[in-house]
């Protein structure tokens, strides 16, 4: 019998004998008397029963007995043990290694209350090796004015990882992270400083930050993007990319203001027909359909589709999927075909037999609908 394929584990990829060996070597090189082998064995022993984020706290637990008990001295040791800074000549996709989160854990654990400024200095150094976005947030909650003042300085720093931390660390809905109690009046001025940054790593964070804000206050995002457009220092191509990335949730929701900003008219005169080729589909098979669009004038279109999933309790759930960004040309029907697999083991939502709906959305407006059965 063939063996089942091994399940991919991000935790095992990030934390293993080799990666922890690298961390142990760095500590031993930077901290005189550091028990390299003792730390390595202890850190490895606790991985299996912990989640990815819990492992980071565990590695800090294992390092702490080998470090100074006085936090300023500990911070000096942690900085001495840091690897070289991430390559400053790059522009994107250089996040760093998760093993280098340990200084952030210890900065919060021992510096938050009694050694704020020294802890922030440590985060400044550490984020140039691995993003300190999780660890700046306790300081923003405990010392908002002082930490925001520091971030205002960092927004002009020469290292783009430091600049990115200003946006990423203040995001309202940062994944995996604790909530920050900040207002838009406190955070959006920081984005004003970063929106024309020359590195995509920073502008992607700015766009993600705005996408978070859009879930809470869509109009604030539209106003900010309009103001930046008028300001004009960012290259047009990058500005367009940021706008699309920042508005992606609003586009999925069919928000008319977002559609207008991207050049997609919701009131456009377009004819839309929907044909479902598989009106009855078994779990694990695919829903096949085609959409035909016709218009008398050239028309940019952003076409999405929503599936309305039936639930056993009689309620429905919806999920939006991208179909096509295109242009309808006069006299030439635009035919879009899609095969959507209905996974029996979907991880984000569970499918159930019954009648389901399919809705085609063009430029944020529902234009056609049909039903199909899952059997």
What is the reported pLDDT for 9?
Answer: 82
Strands (E), the chain: 271-276, 280-281, 286-294, 299-310, 316-328, 334-341, 354-362, 365-374
Q: What would the pLDDT profile of 281-295 be if each residue is shown by its tens digit? A: 998 899 999 999 999
CA distances from 293 to 88, 131, 322, 328, 368 (A): 47, 45, 16, 7, 11
pLDDT range class, residue 347, cuts 50, 70, 90: low
Q: What would the pLDDT profile of 3-23 be if each residue is shown by its tens digit? A: 444 455 889 999 999 999 999
CA distances from 99 to 39, 43, 156, 308 (A): 13, 11, 27, 42
- The three-class DSSP label of residue 307 is strand
Domains assigned to the chain: 67-261 (1.25.10.90), 271-374 (2.60.40.10)
DSSP 175: T
| φ, ψ of residue 361 in degrees (nearest 5) | -115, 125
Q: Which token pair is 185? A: 């009046």
CA angle 153/159/163 to nearest 5° reads 50
1 pLDDT above the threshold of 80: no
Give dist(CA 15, CA 239) in Å, integer: 38
pLDDT range class, residue 348, cuts 50, 70, 90: low
Kindly state the percentage of the chain with pLDDT values over 70: 97
Cβ-Cβ contacts under 8 Å for 38 (sequence gap 6 or more): 66
What is the reported pLDDT for 356?
Answer: 93
Find which of 37-41, 304-308, 340-344 is predicted with most confidence, using mean pLDDT: 37-41
Q: Closest Cα to residue 234, out of 200, 270, 274, 278?
A: 200
Instruction: Read off the pLDDT of each residue in 255-259 and give the average, rounded to a whole number.
Output: 93
Cβ density class 88-113: b for 16+ within 10 Å, e for less: eeeeeeeebebbbbbbbbbbbbbbbe
What average pLDDT does the chain have? 93
Q: What would the pLDDT profile of 124-152 be if each residue is shown by its tens digit? A: 999 999 999 999 999 999 999 999 999 99
Contact 197, 163 (CB under 8 A): yes
232 pLDDT above the threshold of 80: no
Q: Which token pair is 186? A: 């406190």
Q: What would the pLDDT profile of 58-92 be if each residue is shown by its tens digit? A: 999 999 999 999 999 999 999 999 999 999 888 88
What is the reported pLDDT for 8?
Answer: 59
């Amino acid at each position: 019998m063939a063996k089942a394929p091994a399940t991919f584990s991000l935790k095992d990829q990030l934390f293993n004998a080799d990666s922890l060996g690298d961390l142990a070597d760095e500590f031993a090189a930077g901290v005189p008397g550091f028990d390299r082998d003792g730390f390595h064995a202890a850190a490895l022993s606790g991985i299996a029963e912990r989640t990815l984020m819990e492992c980071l706290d565990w590695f800090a637990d294992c390092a702490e007995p080998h470090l100074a008990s006085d936090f300023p001295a500990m911070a000096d040791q942690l900085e001495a043990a840091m690897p070289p800074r991430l390559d400053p000549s790059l522009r994107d996709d250089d996040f760093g290694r998760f093993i280098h989160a340990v200084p952030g854990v210890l900065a919060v654990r021992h510096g938050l209350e009694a050694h704020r400024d020294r802890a922030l200095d440590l985060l400044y150094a550490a984020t140039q090796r691995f993003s300190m976005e999780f660890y700046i947030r306790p300081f923003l909650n405990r010392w908002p004015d002082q930490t925001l003042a520091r971030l205002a300085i960092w927004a002009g720093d020469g290292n783009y990882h430091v600049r990115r931390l200003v946006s990423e660390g203040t995001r309202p809905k940062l994944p995996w992270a604790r909530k920050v109690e900040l207002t838009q009046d406190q955070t959006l001025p920081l984005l004003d400083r970063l929106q024309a940054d020359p590195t995509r790593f920073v502008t992607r964070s700015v766009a993600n930050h705005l996408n978070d804000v859009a879930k809470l206050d869509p109009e604030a995002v539209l106003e900010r993007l309009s103001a930046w457009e008028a300001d004009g220092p960012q290259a047009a191509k990058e500005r367009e990319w940021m706008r699309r990335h920042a508005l992606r949730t609003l586009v999925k929701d069919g928000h008319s203001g977002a559609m207008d900003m991207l050049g997609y008219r919701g009131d456009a005169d377009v004819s839309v027909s929907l044909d479902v080729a598989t009106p009855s589909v078994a779990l694990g098979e695919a829903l096949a359909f085609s959409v035909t669009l016709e218009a008398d004038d050239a028309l940019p279109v952003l076409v999405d589709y929503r599936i309305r999933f039936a639930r056993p309790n009689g309620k429905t759930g919806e999920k939006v999927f991208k179909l096509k960004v295109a242009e309808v040309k006069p006299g030439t029907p635009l035919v879009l075909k899609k095969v959507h697999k209905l996974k029996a083991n979907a991880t984000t939502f569970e499918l159930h037999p019954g009648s389901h709906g399919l809705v085609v959305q063009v430029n944020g407006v529902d234009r056609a609908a049909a039903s199909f059965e899952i059997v």
